[in-house]
Amino acid sequence: MENLKAAKAELRAAKRSIDAMKSEQDFEIFEEEWRDFLNCIEQLWNKVERSCQHKRSQFEPWQGQFKKLRKKDMLLRYLKQARHAHNHSIQEVAEPKAASRSINFANGTGGYIKNLTMVGGNIVNYQGDPLEVIDRPNRYAAVKVKNDGKWYNPPTSHLGNRFISDSALDIAIAGLEFYENYIKQVEEKFFNE
């Protein structure tokens, strides 16, 4: 019987890419690790499928829930499309971005400002609907990519929750967590007999 050895090797390689990305200061090397991560995650997906051929009739219907997530979930869809953009075009998949601050209404649909006073980039007096201030450090950000005539932006949600970072590293960490859980579920369902 097949096992998940090959898929787990890709998972370990993806983790090594993330570890390298965490401390990398040189953009060219960071981007190389980001591209490696994207490839490892897609290879992981493919190798899990190959490993489950012995139970294909049970695996494919079960896997359907994850296939749907990879199409609908913004973060998972972005990882797949960024990998596709890297491998099948000359598009960039990351860029250096300077630190920034954004201010938005907390509810995400707009709101009312009665009074807003800022000094030196900081709010010193505010009256109105609740605001959300997001400070982003210097980072290597994921960028929008185009595949088959359709644009894919860096994710703003993941598994039903807001995802506020455009950092390629943050996106990779969230993606890795999802795929670690996916492999764990596959192993429990199809390899613990």
pLDDT tens digits, 71-87: 999 999 999 999 999 88
What's the rounded Cα separation, in Å, for the pair 13 and 44?
10
Instruction: Please tell me whether residues 92 and 177 are part of one structural domain.
Output: yes
User: End-to-end CA distance of the chain, in Å?
Assistant: 11
User: Does residue 101 have a pLDDT over 80?
Assistant: no
Do 83 and 104 fall within a single domain? no
Instruction: Mark whether 108 and 41 lie in a shared domain.
Output: no
pLDDT at res. 1: 41
Residues 121 and 176 in one domain: no
The 10s digit of each residue's pLDDT in 8-25 is 999 999 999 999 999 999
Are 148 and 108 members of one domain? no
Identify the H or E element spanning 75.
helix 74-88
Q: Is the same domain home to 76 and 121?
A: no
**pLDDT of the residue at 192:** 82
Indicate if 127 and 147 belong to the same structural domain.
Answer: no
Domain count, the chain: 2
Range of the domain at 122: 100-135
Q: CA of 36: how far to CAs of 10, 45, 74, 109, in Å?
A: 10, 14, 20, 37
Distance CA 14, CA 59 (A): 24
Express each pLDDT in 127-179 by its tens digit: 888 888 777 767 899 999 999 899 999 999 999 999 989 999 999 999 999 99
Q: Are residue 82 and residue 157 in the same domain, yes or no?
A: yes
